[in-house]
Structure 1
Amino acid sequence: MLRDLGLEGSGSDDAVYRFLIAHAAATESDLARALAIPATVVTRAVSQLRDLGLIVVEPAVPASTSSPTEHRWRAVAPELAIGPMVARSRDRLRRAEDAFLELVDAYRREHTASAASDLVEFVEGRAAQAAWISRLESGARRSIDVFQTGRNLVVPVAESIYEDPPEPEPEPEGARGASAGFDPLAEPATAHHDGVRYRVVVDTDFLTEPAAIRALDERLALGHEVRIVDDPLAKLVIVDGELGMIQVSGSASVVLRAPLVVLGTQLFETTWRHARPYFSDGTQISTEDRRVLQLMLAGLTDAAAASQLGTSPRTIQRRLRALMNRAQVTSRVQLGWHAMRNNWI
């Protein structure tokens, strides 16, 4: 959890922090007993969490009439301790994406075509972009990293990453720019490269697309890792950290080669670290309730969430009310905080 937030931390640090989140306060001895981990490990975790500003000490109380006093530690509210860090990370991410696209544009304008072709290649038209993405996917040896959005449909990542490249088709006069209607959510085939790690980040706009949940569930079934961000993404594919493709306009994309592909890789890694998992093991609620929470946190209306899950807005409202009662909160904002604190999402 702490590493996902961009902080240094171990599994023991996570366990101690989660325990203190769920309890009013505890001593190091309490923590060692409750978590069944050595006292020395607890001491290191407490020191790390204290330095990060995630926990604070309460006044010392005697452990017994004859033993030395022990500090009792309590967690700082996540919205106070972590909220500002998340906000700063989002700002850095926006600036990184703006700088990345600015560099790509500057290179295109300032270099000759022959020199630019060594680093970047402009790809225009629906069929050409789909063919390039399929070529990238088929050549992957280690990893495929993807940004997927429903905001701009020119680069059909979710479809073409599985399918053979389509035969090039001549585009009618004036067709470029109209290719945004190309459906990126076509049913994926079962093709999958053994040994290749797939990581996919989707944004809120993607979750509003028809069949988005089905598409993500199919990715999970294939062993892909999926995370969600609230801010809009540009479509991006990076293969093996060596070759990539990013959408730069409504009708064109850029193929990135070294060294420019490093910028795309850094952008993806930063986004991945700060995105929230779409699905994780160990959750305490049902799969259906977790999907409802994911869509609520992504900002979808009850009607939009119901459409994604094939149910009614009233059912969505009933599930959320039941979760609020379970969490003993009175608003959806409070429910969201409770869900994040208690590993419901």
Structure 2
Amino acid sequence: MLQALGLGAAEETIYTALMAQPTASAHDLARQTGIVVAETSRVLADLETRGLISVATEPDCEESGSAGQPTGSQSVHYRLAPPSVALAPLLAEQRNALHQAESAFSMLIEQYRNTAVHSATGVVEVVVGMEQVAHRFHQLQRGAQRELLVFLVGAPVAVPREETGMSESSVLDRGVDFRAVAVKDYLDTPNVARDARAAIKAGMQLRLVDSLPLKLVVSDRERAMVPLDTADSDAEPSAIVVHRSGLLAALVHLFEMEWARARPLHITTTGVHAEETIEQQPTKGELDVLALLLAGFSDRRTASQLGVSLRTVERRTRRLMDLARADSRLQLGWHAARAGWL
């Protein structure tokens, strides 16, 4: 996870190992992580240069004279700098880099719009009429060889609901990676719920969200189709087919973003259900715990400072990690900064 902040795998391993104890020497950390002492020392020096850890000299009592340890009166030990302080500059650097990337992305999109008008007919194809829209939809769906991405939303217009994906067994039979995101009310129809259950069993990955901005099907990341909604209900159905271009890349990116935030569906004896969700914002008590943990307090000191039990601190920390979907407290700190919890 620290790699997202510009650090390497060895640095993350040693940093995480040091987080579990007040102080440790290079030899201690080498034994815990399995990284050779020379590499561990190099990584510690780099982390110190970055301000993520600090050096403390402690009496070398029990370890003095042991194999591979210094025999002097003191050995160099390291302790973590408070992550909330030490990691802040790294997060700022990543935010700046992301801002620059977003600016570059906007400039490229604008340049594309200004220069691609002459070739627009080769990038975007307009399809009009119920039969033509249905024909092109089936071409994209049945022509997929590697991957099919679908947004399932709203009432069908040109393509019957039972043909929009979940009952299309030929896609799964060909071994195509089939992922679909559906709005929460899409499965309310009994027949659709039945088809979804069968499709999930056959290998389709289906997730649920509260809302989606449009209908979409993407075939092999080579072509995509988006219906053109119109306020005139009497108008013929129409859609655009987008070929490989920046616009297609944006549609794929939109799908991946919605996929990441959607809730996976699973099959039970009573039907298809979304994973249970929890309140997405931490409570004040949980934020109090988080603030002290990020300041470098131990669980016991945090409990004493807040006047609560150690079990309460552990329970609040566990819920914070669940909210952040974090596997470690380091990941929790990164998510807390990203989400603006503190």
Kindly indicate which of the two structures has a greater share of residues assigned to helix. Answer: 2
Give TM-score, length-normalised by structure 2: 0.49
Q: Which has the higher contact order (CA 8 A, sep 6+)?
A: 1
